[in-house]
Amino acid sequence: MLPKGVLFDFDGVVVDSKESHNAAWESAFRELFNEQIAPFPPSYAGKSPMIIANYFCSVIGKEAQTEDLFFLKDKHLDIYFKTPKLLPGVHECTDFLTKKNINYGIASNATKQFLKNSVEKLNLNFSIVFGVQDYEKPKPAPEAYITLANALGFNENDFKHIWVFEDSLAGTTAAKLAGMIPVGILTQFSEEELKEAGSKMVFPTLLEAYKYLNALN
């Protein structure tokens, strides 16, 4: 059966944004502390920017300035915006879902302005987009996906029929806790890791997921 709705994470699912985020973290950290930032730890992929900011600050014993780094990084991400790279299958998926009248949107731990800038620059067909500022508890809490599903007109009885495309363990956990169907995308973690976190299916990119959806049709 086709899903009733489809929810998308952004970084690692719709776009490859590592270069965009890394550049903003590095320049903000240098401006704030006049030091070189530590390497990004892979285990933090998909976590909220505030948690990531706290990690970078803790490396140099400056945890008290976590919020300063968080807000400055968001500012740099906007001012020195680098358009992320579009990953395969995004347009195919959104065109298919639109044709089938299946509601969809984005819920990400990225900041709202970055999402809006990226959607505009890449000419993506996402009218409903939620970022980290829209939730009290970011992923791995389920609030992000519940908030998006409600905005798309779904109720709790629909959740078990909603697919969530995720590349991170934190996001996969969020989708599972929301009672939805996590579908893994292999840009960050292995198939085994994603399935252990709760993914029911796994695809290399959205392009393979689109082909699967089209075959279901």
Quick one: pLDDT at residue 46?
A: 80
| pTM attached to this predicted model | 0.89
| pLDDT in the model for residue 43 | 85
Could you report how far apart the first and last alpha carbons of the chain are, in Å?
8
Write the DSSP assignment of the chain as a string of letters: ---SEEEE--BTTTEE-HHHHHHHHHHHHHHHHSSPPPPPPGGGTTS-HHHHHHHHHHHTT-GGGHHHHHHHHHHHHHHT--PPEEPTTHHHHHHHHHHTT-EEEEE-SS-HHHHHHHHHHTT---S-EE-GGG-SS-TTSTHHHHHHHHHTT--GGGGGGEEEEE-SHHHHHHHHHTTSEEEEETTSS-HHHHHHHT-SEEESSHHHHHHHHHHH-
Q: Are 29 and 56 in contact (CB under 8 A)?
A: yes
pLDDT at 47: 86
Q: What b/e string do you get for 131-148 counting C-beta neighbours within 10 Å, with b at 16 or more?
A: bbebbeebbbbbbbbbbb
Distance, CA of 184 to CA of 195 (rounded, Å):
8
For residue 217, what pLDDT is reported? 81
Instruction: Write down the pLDDT at residue 14.
Output: 98
Flag residues of the chain having pLDDT under 70: none
Task: Note the pLDDT of residue 42.
Answer: 84
pLDDT tens digits for range 18-46:
899 999 999 999 999 999 999 998 888 88
**Residue-by-residue DSSP string for 57-109:** HHHTT-GGGHHHHHHHHHHHHHHT--PPEEPTTHHHHHHHHHHTT-EEEEE-S
Q: Which residues pair with 11 in a beta bridge?
A: 15
